[in-house]
């Protein structure tokens, strides 16, 4: 194995070629040099450095008025996730059936008298529940559920999406949300929950892990995490702590895999890490379902 610097030991931490004091594990997909978040420019696959983007732009006719230097980057996955949650919230307002048909539960009697849940073969609830939020039902405070989650996604989502890239960011978000649903299913199969909080907690954990790796200040995210955990476990709150902790664990685990993998293995881990986590969650659901009397298994 060779090192970028002839005098550096094999165990040295790579740093950005434009900002030598910044540690990073991301390489430009064109020149293969290490780049920090400030130097990343979204490419068709992965990220490119500023110099490669500018070099490539010389051979492409630029439409009049188009932004330069990677300025056209947008956190499209973050925006799409927020949009899906808002659309789902409007569906909840329109019909209560929209909620109980899609909320997360292991096995429960629904308001229409039917029995539903993951144990009844409705595995889609593991995913759909993360786009639902508390239904207003005349309670003015209920809307704070979706407002806080969407604010958190708006604040934390774009920087994480830029650091990880759209595919890895989406994988982390979805798997963290599913991780929260799975932990609820394992520990309280008769319970019910809605909300993007599990996925949001996964983003908090990922930001903390990547922040430590890249030297980004993490004190604000630690404060937000501590406050939310206090609220989660406070007496009298109707909050699914399993969803929060499950999302936190999965998000932190995936972020650690992305951040601390040696560069030569990065491409493989980008695919393998989410796949392994998804398989582990799948097997957990299968085992739990088989243990519930009368389940589809």
Lowest-confidence pick of 14-23, 69-78, 194-203: 69-78
Tell me the H-state helices in the chain: 50-58, 76-94, 97-102, 125-128, 143-164, 166-187, 197-214, 219-233, 241-260, 266-291
State the average pLDDT over residues 210-216.
86
Rg (CA), the chain: 21
Which pLDDT score, from 0 to 100, does residue 106 have?
Answer: 92
The pLDDT mean for the chain works out to 84
Residues classed as catalytic: 197, 244
Q: Is the pLDDT of residue 233 over 60?
A: yes
| pLDDT, position 274 | 96
| pLDDT above 90: percentage of residues in the chain | 47
Model pLDDT for residues 43-73, shown as the tens digit of each residue: 655 678 888 877 765 543 333 333 344 456 7
Kindly state the average pLDDT of the residues 93-115: 89
- Mean pLDDT for 95-119 is 90
| Owner of token pair 């799975």 | 182
Tell me which of 96-100, 118-122, 206-210, 214-218 is least confident.
Answer: 214-218
Give just the sign of the alpha carbon dihedral 212, 278, 179, 198.
positive
**pLDDT tens figures, 156-205:** 999 999 989 999 999 999 999 999 999 999 999 999 999 999 999 999 99
Among the ranges given (27-41, 73-87, 280-294), the one the predictor scored with the smallest mean pLDDT? 27-41
Rounded to whole angstroms, the Cα distance separating 166 from 158 reads 10
What pLDDT was estimated at residue 32?
Answer: 82
- Give the per-residue pLDDT at 235: 81
Distance between CA atoms of 199 and 166, rounded to whole angstroms?
15
Rounded to an integer, the average pLDDT of 195-217 is 91
So what's the pLDDT on residue 6?
41
Q: What does DSSP assign to residue 102?
A: H
Quote the pLDDT of residue 297. Answer: 65
| Rounded Cα gap, residues 85 and 77, in angstroms | 12
pTM exceeds cut of 0.95: no
Phi-psi region of 195 (alpha: psi -120 to 50; beta: other; left: phi over 0): left
Measured CA to CA, the distance from residue 20 to residue 96 in angstroms comes to: 55
**Domains along the chain with CATH numbers:** 13-58 (no CATH), 76-281 (1.20.1540.10)
pLDDT tens per residue across span 253-295: 999 999 988 888 888 999 999 999 999 999 999 999 999 887 7
Percent of the chain with pLDDT over 70: 86
Residues 6+ apart with CB under 8 A from 128: 102, 103, 104
What is the structure's pLDDT at 209?
92
Residue 272: the pLDDT is 94
Q: What is the pLDDT of residue 68?
A: 40
């Amino acid at each position: 194995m060779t090192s970028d610097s002839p005098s550096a030991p094999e165990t040295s931490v790579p740093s950005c070629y434009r900002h030598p004091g910044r540690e990073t594990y991301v390489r430009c997909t064109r020149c293969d040099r290490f780049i920090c978040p400030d130097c990343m420019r979204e490419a068709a696959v992965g990220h490119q450095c500023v110099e490669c983007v500018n070099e490539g732009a010389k051979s492409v006719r630029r439409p009049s008025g188009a932004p330069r230097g990677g300025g056209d980057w947008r956190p499209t996955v973050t925006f799409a996730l927020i949009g899906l949650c808002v659309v789902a919230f409007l569906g909840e307002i329109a019909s209560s059936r929209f909620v109980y048909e899609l909320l997360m539960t292991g096995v429960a009697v629904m308001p229409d008298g039917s029995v539903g849940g993951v144990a009844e073969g409705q595995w889609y609830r593991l995913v759909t529940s993360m786009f639902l939020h508390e239904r207003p039902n005349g309670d003015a405070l209920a809307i704070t559920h979706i407002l806080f989650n969407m604010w958190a996604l708006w604040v934390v989502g774009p920087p994480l999406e830029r650091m990880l890239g759209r595919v890895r960011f989406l994988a982390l978000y979805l798997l963290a949300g599913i991780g929260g649903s799975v932990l609820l299913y394992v520990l309280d199969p008769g319970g019910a929950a809605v909300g993007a909080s599990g996925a949001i907690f996964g983003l908090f954990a990922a930001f903390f892990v990547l922040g430590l790796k890249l030297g980004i200040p993490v004190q604000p995210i630690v404060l937000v995490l501590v406050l939310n955990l206090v609220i989660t476990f406070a007496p009298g709150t109707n909050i699914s702590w399993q969803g929060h902790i499950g999302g936190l664990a999965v998000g932190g685990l995936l972020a650690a895999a992305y951040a601390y993998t040696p560069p030569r293995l990065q491409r493989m881990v980008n695919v393998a890490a989410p796949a392994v986590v998804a398989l582990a969650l799948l097997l957990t659901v299968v085992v739990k379902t088989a243990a519930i009397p009368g389940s589809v298994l």
